[in-house]
Structure 1
Amino acid sequence: MAIEKKEIIIREIQQWKQSRLLPGEYCDFLLALYSQGEGIDEHIKPSLNLKLVFLLFSNILLLPLTYLVINFTEFPDRLQMFLAFIFLLLSIACYRVFSKIKAVKIPVAKLVILGILLIITMDMVEMLTKTPWITAIAILLQLAGWSIAGYKQKDKYLFGAGMIGTIMVIYYVII
C-alpha cells in the first residue's frame, strides 16, 4: 500500500479515536496494523487542566453550600428552596460537562447531585410534615433507591453511598 494512503488511513483512525466513533482498543489495533507496529506519535494533551480542577472543586463546594443555605440562614423558606434548586441545576450542568470527559473517572458530580437532592428532600419533608419519622422514612427510601440504582448500574460508589447512608439512618432511628 502506498505511504500516502497509509497516512490518510492513520489520520482517519486517529480522528475516529478522538471522536469516539470506535472504541479505543479497536483504534489502537488498527493503528498498530497500519503503522506496522512502529507506533504513532500522538500529541497527548493533559486531560485534566486547571479549568476542570476548578470546576470540580466548585461542584464539590455546592453540597456544603446547599446545606449552609438551608440550615444556617435566615432567608425565607421559598428563597432557600430556590437557591437549593439553583445549586442543583449548577451541579447537573457540571455533571454534563464531566460526563463528556474521560479524565474524571470518579462519579463525584453524580454524588453531589444526589447529595443536594437528599438535602432538598429532607428540608421539604420537614417543612411539609414536621414529623421526624416521616423525614427518616423519606431519607431511607431515597438512600435505598441509591443502593438499588448503584447495584443495577454496577456503580460501586453509588451503591456504597446508598448502603452507608441507609445504615446510618437505621442506626439513627434505632438509637
Structure 2
Amino acid sequence: MEQKRKEIIINEIKYWKQTRLLPEQYCDFLLALYTEGNHNNDVDQPTKQVPTWAVRFTMILIGIFLPFALLVIYFTELSFVLQTLILSLFVIICLMTVLFFAQHKMLTHIALIVGALSLLLLSIRACDVYFSGSTTALAITVICNCFVWLLIGWRFSLMYFVISGVVGIILLFSSFFI
C-alpha cells in the first residue's frame, strides 16, 4: 500500500479513537496493523472529552432559545432595546457553543441552526425598527443573512446551510422580478 494512503488511514483511525467511534482496543489493533507495529501510544496526546450529558444539556438549552426568541419578539411588549439585547445574547451564546465544540472537534448542528435563525430574527427586527416599511432595506438584510448561511455552509461543509442560502437568494430575487 502506498505511503500517502497509509497516512490517511492512520489519521482516520486516530480520529475514530479520539472521538470514540470505535472502541479503543479496535483502534489500537488497527493502528498496529497499519503501522506494522511501529505505532507508539506515548506519542499521542490524550484528548479531553466533553461529557455526553454536557453536550445534551447544552443542545436542549439552545433548542429552547429559538421559541423563546420568537416569544420575545412577537408576543411581548418589551422595548426594542431589551428585545435586541436578548436576541444578541442568544446569538452570542450559540456562537460560543459552536466555537467551544469546534475546538473539541465536535460540530453541533442545533447551535448553528438556532444561532443563524436568531441572527435572522435580530437583523429583521432591527431593520423593521430603523427602516420602517423599506422593502429595499429588508431585502438587503435577508440577502446578507443568506450570504452568512452560504459562508457557514462552505466553512463547515454543511450542505443544508448552502442550500438554505441559495434558496433564500433565489426566492428573494424571484419575489422582486416576478
Give the AA of the match of 1:64: P
Unaligned runs of 5+ in 2: 1-13, 20-26, 39-48
How far off is 1:170 after superposition?
4.3
| Counterpart residue number, 1:93 | 96
Q: 2:64 aligns with which of 51, 58, 61?
A: 61
Q: Matched residue pairs, number?
A: 144
Query: CA distance change for structure 1 residues 83 and 53 in 2, over 3 Å: closer, same or farther?
Result: same
Report the Cα distance in structure 1 between the residues aligned to 2:156 and 2:100, rounded to whole angstroms: 20
How far off is 1:168 after superposition?
4.1
| Counterpart residue number, 1:107 | 109
How far off is 1:122 after superposition?
0.4
Query: CA distance change for structure 1 residues 106 and 83 in 2, over 3 Å: closer, same or farther?
Result: closer
Give the AA of the match of 2:119: L
Query: CA distance change for structure 1 residues 171 and 70 in 2, over 3 Å: closer, same or farther?
Result: farther
Query: CA distance change for structure 1 residues 50 and 148 in 2, over 3 Å: closer, same or farther?
Result: closer
The two structures, once aligned, show a CA RMSD in angstroms of 3.5
Report the Cα distance in structure 1 between the residues aligned to 2:132 and 2:85, rounded to whole angstroms: 20
Contact 1:140 1:166 in 2 (8 A): yes
- SS of residue matched to 1:51: helix
With structure 2 as the length reference, what TM-score do the two structures score?
Answer: 0.63
Question: Are 2:147 and 1:144 equivalent residues in the alignment?
Answer: yes
Report the Cα distance in structure 2 between the residues aligned to 1:153 and 1:51, rounded to whole angstroms: 22
How far off is 1:111 after superposition?
2.5
Query: CA distance change for structure 1 residues 58 and 167 in 2, over 3 Å: closer, same or farther?
Result: farther
Give the AA of the match of 1:31: A
Query: CA distance change for structure 1 residues 93 and 149 in 2, over 3 Å: closer, same or farther?
Result: closer
How far off is 1:151 after superposition?
4.1
Give the AA of the match of 1:88: V
Q: 1:118 aligns with which of 115, 120, 140?
A: 120
- SS of residue matched to 1:141: helix
4+ aligned runs moved over 6 Å, structure 1: none
Q: Which has the larger radius of gyration?
A: 1
With structure 1 as the length reference, what TM-score do the two structures score?
Answer: 0.64
| Counterpart residue number, 1:31 | 32
Give the AA of the match of 1:53: R
Query: CA distance change for structure 1 residues 171 and 63 in 2, over 3 Å: closer, same or farther?
Result: farther
Percent of residue pairs bearing the same amino acid type: 22
Report the Cα distance in structure 1 between the residues aligned to 2:92 and 2:107, rounded to whole angstroms: 21
Question: Are 2:87 and 1:79 equivalent residues in the alignment?
Answer: no
Query: CA distance change for structure 1 residues 48 and 105 in 2, over 3 Å: closer, same or farther?
Result: farther
Report the Cα distance in structure 1 between the residues aligned to 2:53 and 2:155, rounded to whole angstroms: 34
Question: Are 2:151 and 1:161 equivalent residues in the alignment?
Answer: no
- SS of residue matched to 1:130: coil
- SS of residue matched to 1:60: helix
